[in-house]
Structure 1
Amino acid sequence: MRPMLASPADTTPRGEDWVHEVKWDGMRVLVDVHDGKLTISSRTGNDVTASYPELATLADQYDDMLLDGEVVALDGGRPSFAALADRMHVKDRRRAERLAAARPVTLMVFDLLRLYAADLTSQPWSARRELLERLDLDGRHWQVPPVYDDGDELFEATREQGLEGIVSKRRSAPYLAGRRSKDWLKRPHRTSVSAVVGGWRPEKTNDSGRLGAVLLGVPDGAGGWRFAGRMGSGIAGAAAVRLAEALAPLTRPTSPFSDPVPRIDAVGATWVEPRVVVEARTLEVTRDGRLRQPAYLGIRTDVTPDDLQEVDGA
């Protein structure tokens, strides 16, 4: 099963038909518990159980359940995708356990899709939520965050607290697995952008040839990729090595962008197939679609290029 996805929104819906939640800056997952075994899947269907050993004891809570939620890493009390990035790609059990001890994650559970072999996806959100709250899932590494009736108030509160935004959900809506629906609406505060990497440039400070910056692309509205700018901030050390390893097998002879890349950005670039999705924090997206002073947060293994094209066309 793939998770249900929210549609972008510029305004917050009002009225008794809607309920509102905090939008968490993390990794969307489905958590499947069955016969004492726990399986955690990303939104792309990859098994990421090994990355989060601190969630293993969720399997002791109930014999059979399927949860939808967001794995977050807290930095100074606030969710941080940059803090989570180091955890997302770890498959080695011992390393994952060390990272879990030093920087544990929290699972924010917001939906219940199955309980004791009963499929709940056809039930309205309100019924699923009532059952979820009755499970009393309140542990050291997981929780069921509250929901709110006043979306405008929550939107302003999350802005003041530096959180990512809100998600509004229609109370009567069933769970549409694998589909993006206007029964769920997401409204973010921060200018955080997911983009593909279409090329990279080496560090300027030496002749090592190590990756120093990447060239970013966003959907061009016609199924291709428009150049969105060059990003070097935040790409260093282990993050640069990991990104270089992901891009190494994707080299191609020509630019993957549908528009010309300015010479100042293209000089010395190695072009790559636009298959790696990264997350960037940026001051703003300019009128011509460029990212202003983007800073690297990490690779998004939970999002595909097709996902970006789908959101752009929503």
Structure 2
Amino acid sequence: MQPMLAAVADGIPRGPEWVHEVKWDGMRVLADVRDGRLVLSSRTGRDVSVSFPELAGLTDTYDDLLLDGEVVALDGGLPSFAALAERMHVSSPRKAAQLATTRPVTFMAFDLLRLFGSDLTTQPWSARRELLERLELHSSAWQVPPTYDDGEELFEATRDQGLEGVVSKRRTSLYAAGRRSADWRKSPHRATLSVVIGGWRPEVGTTNRLGAVLVGTPDGSGGWEYAGRVGAGLVGTAGARISSLLEPLSRSASPFSNPVPREDASGATWVEPTVVVEVQSLGRGSTGKLRQPAYLGVRTDLTPSDLHEVSDA
């Protein structure tokens, strides 16, 4: 099963038919407990169970359940995607166990899709939420975060606290697995963006050490619009990881549908736009390029098709 997705809101929905939750800066995960085994699946269906061993105790809660939620890593008391990036890509059980101690995650369970073999996706959100709260899933590694009736108040509070934003849900909404629905609407604060890498430039004074990546966003026609050069955050292991991902993706020409400025294109190696990364910036300048972008991490939970889908929604 793939998770239900939220549409981008043009304002916080009002009225008693809506309920509101904190939008977490993390990784969307389905947690499937069945026959004494836990399987954690990303948005793309990838099994990420090995990456988060501290969630294995969910098998001791109930014999059969399927939870929808988000894995978050805290940095200074706030969820941080950059902090979570250390955990998302780990495939070694030993390393994952070490990171579970030094950089623990928390699973924020916000929906219940199956319980004791009964499919709950055809039940309204309000019924699923009532059952979820009755399960009393509270521990140091997972919790059921609260909901709020006043979305505008929550929006202001999350902005003041430095949280990512708000997700508003229609109380009567059924669970539309794998679909983006206007029954769920997201209102983010932070200027973070998922982009594809279409090329890279070497570090100054070198020929093969990655110094910056050239990124793009959907152009509305199925292609990619050049959005700028990202170098901040790519030192050390982050740059090495990106290099290894891009090495087999080289191509002869730019994948972007618009011209790349000469100062950015000079010395660039072009790549197939298949690697999705998260960046933070000060928005876009007058030329459409991201202002002071910084690399946060690889989005293994997203594909380029997901970015086009969000753009077209």
TM-score, normalised via structure 1 length: 0.99
Match of 1:60 in 2: 60
Tell me the alpha carbon deviations over residues 228-274 of structure 1, each in whole angstroms, 9 at most, x when there is no partner: 00000000100101111111110000000001100000000000000
Q: Does 1:213 align with 2:212?
A: yes
The alpha carbon displacement at 1:10 in A equals: 2.4
Q: Residue 71 of structure 2: SS of its match in structure 1?
A: strand
- Amino acid of the structure 2 residue aligned with 1:151: G
* 1:100 partnered with 2:100: yes
For 2:250, the equivalent position in structure 1 comes to 251
The gaps in structure 1 that reach 5 residues or longer are: none
Q: Quick one: distance in 2 between partners of 1:20 and 1:100?
A: 30
Shift of 1:286: 3.0
- 2:293 maps to what in 1? 294
Is 1:74 equivalent to 2:74 in the alignment? yes
Corresponding position of 2:30:
30
- What secondary structure sits across from 2:175 in the alignment? coil
Question: Where in structure 2 are the equivalents of 1:77-226 lying within 5 Å?
Answer: 77-204=77-204, 206-207=205-206, 209-226=208-225
Residue aligning to 1:274: 273
Q: Deviations over 1:141-197 (max 9, x none)?
A: 000000000000000000000000000000000000000000000000010000000
CA distance, structure 2, for counterparts of residue 37 and residue 229 of structure 1: 44
How many residues of Structure 1 are paired with residues of Structure 2 in the alignment? 313
SS in 1 for 2:247: helix
Counterpart for residue 233 of structure 1: 232
Q: Which runs of 4+ in 1 moved over 3 A?
A: none
Question: What is the identity, as a one-letter code, of the residue corresponding to 1:297?
Answer: L
Q: Distance in 1 between matches of 2:42 and 2:292?
A: 29
2:264 maps to: 265
* Distance in 1 of aligned mates of 2:70 and 2:284: 26
Letter in 2 for 1:302: D
Give the deviation of 1:209 after TM superposition. 1.8
Query: Which whole-Å CA distance do the structure 2 matches of 1:243 and 1:67 have between them?
Result: 32
Q: Counterpart of 1:234 in 2: which secondary structure?
A: coil
TM-score, structure 2 length as denominator?
A: 0.99
Aligned mates of 1:288, 1:3 — CA distance in 2: 36
1:9: Cα distance to partner? Answer: 1.1
> In structure 2, how many angstroms separate the alpha carbons of the residues matched to 1:51 and 1:163?
24
Q: Which residue of 2 aligns with 1:308?
A: 307
What amino acid sits opposite 1:306 in the alignment?
A: S
Query: Hey, what's the Cα distance between the residues in 2 that align with 1:65 and 1:288?
Result: 49
AA matched with 1:109: A
* Residue deviations 1:191-232 (CA, integer Å, cap 9, x gap): 00000000000101x325210100010000000000000000
For residues 58 and 36 of structure 1, the distance between their equivalents in structure 2, rounded to whole angstroms, comes to 9
Cα gap change, 1:260 to 1:208, in 2 (>3 Å): closer
Q: Give the % identical residues.
A: 68
Say which SS state the counterpart of residue 186 (structure 2) adopts.
strand
SS at match of 1:128: helix
1:43-90 deviation digits (Å, cap 9, x = unpaired)? 000000000000001111000000000000000000000000010000
Q: Which residue of 2 aligns with 1:20?
A: 20
